[in-house]
Amino acid sequence: MNASDLVLVLQHQHDDSPGNLAQWLADQDWDYRVVDVETEEFPAAGRYRAIAVLGSKESAYDLDIDWIRAEHDFVGACMAAGTPVLGICFGAQLLALRLGGRVSPMGGSEIGWCEVSGPAPYGGTWFVWHGDHITAPPGSTVLAETPRCLHAYTHGAHVGVQFHPEVTAALVEDWMATPSRKAALVDAGGDADEIARRTEELASKATAAAWRLYESFFISARSERPRPVRGPGPRWQG
């Protein structure tokens, strides 16, 4: 593959890896590059067939953080060049802001396995971990949600999902062993033992659903490039 056939994965913290997305890309003969945005420089915009933006403990509207502001600029430049974006959790929020949507605190957290209503491949039982929620960008199509918030939307070839399709059983186990995440879970009234039990029950099925989601997004990315998008830039509300 040449450089234009590569997938760029933007990672924001060491314990939030591409998970099963990396496995799917390798199985489907996609080459990919992972960039840690807190420690590495962004590459040139427009060099990649698609971009996947992963989760973060930070909020996508916190433009006082240098790397978040820089990532907004980079993702916006890639979208203007016609590169499709798959946004996951924080990534879905950043994408929504670039497209003129809103992101704001939801007054609590959703953590654990959650029933998300919507058509396949977006609806189903997914792992979630977030405290902000998205107001859909103008011109987007909402495809999945819970009673508390939007969970999946599309805008042209761009896809944003608030849930975590990339999680594996090992990734959830690592999260449950991280002190800061355990504290957040306790604050949200979650139960680590229940999450572990449901992960054992649901992780394989969720991975199969994630692969259908990836297939839908990346087949479109490989077959044709979307029209460039120049959104109005970040908008948020406190």
Q: Please identify every residue annotated as catalytic.
A: 89, 164, 166
Question: 53 has which bridge partners?
Answer: 10, 87
Cβ proximity of 12 and 38 under 8 Å: yes
Strands across the sheet containing 50-53: 32-36, 7-11, 50-53, 85-88, 158-161, 150-155, 141-145
Widest Cα–Cα separation across the chain: 48
- Cβ 38 vs Cβ 11: under 8 Å: no
Q: Which helix (H) or strand (E) holds 144?
A: strand 141-145
Q: What does the alpha-carbon distance between residue 237 and residue 105 come to, in Å, rounded to a whole number? A: 8
